[in-house]
Structure 1
Amino acid sequence: MKPAPRKPTVPRNAAETARHAVIDLLCRETRSAKELSAELRLTEREVYDHLEHIRRSLHAEGAALEIVPAVCRSCGFTFAKRDRLTAPGRCPVCRHEAISDPLYTIHRPGHEPA
């Protein structure tokens, strides 16, 4: 007996992708990777991968992924020169590991957040 023919798969709409969901959320308000992960039901690693791609692709549109840097909760050191999107593990000044997460938002010139 022959197996039944498979139904063709229907690709997801581009507006339904996880990356577009991240962009939509960040256009509305500032969020951390942990908040994005919880809301979109993705792992933090996936969120960071999407953020890296978004950072590169927004440049072509004239928009930018803005990052509020992480801050040490013990001594107040700000990680202003950090290029990586992930949160740092420990403070270089006091060596404490109590560090706030960096926050992300998308800024498009000429567009006001909703």
Structure 2
Amino acid sequence: MESRTTRERIADALREGPETPSSLAEAFEVTPHAALGHVEHVAQSVRSAADEELLVRPPECRECGFSGFDDPLNLPSRCPECKHEGIEEPAFVVED
């Protein structure tokens, strides 16, 4: 049995390379929104550690390229500019 928490395992996955909410959800058997909650907590933990940072590639509209979403730790349903519903998920990575 795994003694480490899901959040700790997600943090380790983000140290290995970029992950999206969907890829984290599939790997750790949680919903994409739950994965985002874990990423938010990982971001807080990383912020307190001086040697690491959470980098975020924000969501981006596949139609017009808009990436100025208010909250990059979110899964927007459509683009505020062109109203297209094809939004590329954000991706996260922890780097030192």
- TM-score normalised by structure 1 residue count: 0.75
Structure 2 CA distance for aligned equivalents of residues 72 and 49 of structure 1: 22
Q: CA deviation at 1:82?
A: 2.9
- Checking the alignment, whether the CA contact within 8 Å between 2:19 and 2:91 is kept in structure 1 is yes
User: What is residue 18 of structure 1 aligned with on the other side?
Assistant: 6
Q: Give, as a single letter, the amino acid of the residue that structure 1 aligns with 2:23.
A: E
2:30 to 42, 51, 74: 42
Structure 1 CA distance for aligned equivalents of residues 79 and 29 of structure 2: 29
User: What is residue 58 of structure 2 aligned with on the other side?
Assistant: 69
The answer for unaligned runs of 5 or more in structure 1 is: 1-11, 109-114
User: What is residue 89 of structure 1 aligned with on the other side?
Assistant: 77
Q: May I ask how many residue pairs the two structures share in their alignment?
A: 94
SS of residue matched to 2:71:
coil
Structure 2 CA distance for aligned equivalents of residues 76 and 45 of structure 1: 23
How much identity, in percent, do the aligned residues show? 30
Segments ≥4 residues shifted beyond 2 Å:
81-84
In our comparison, the structure showing a higher alpha carbon Rg is 1
1:28 to 16, 19, 28: 16
The answer for unaligned runs of 5 or more in structure 2 is: none
1:46-69 per-position Cα deviation (integer Å, ceiling 9, x unaligned):
211111111111111022111001
- Checking the alignment, whether the CA contact within 8 Å between 2:21 and 2:35 is kept in structure 1 is yes
- Checking the alignment, whether the CA contact within 8 Å between 2:60 and 2:66 is kept in structure 1 is yes
Structure 1 CA distance for aligned equivalents of residues 86 and 33 of structure 2: 20
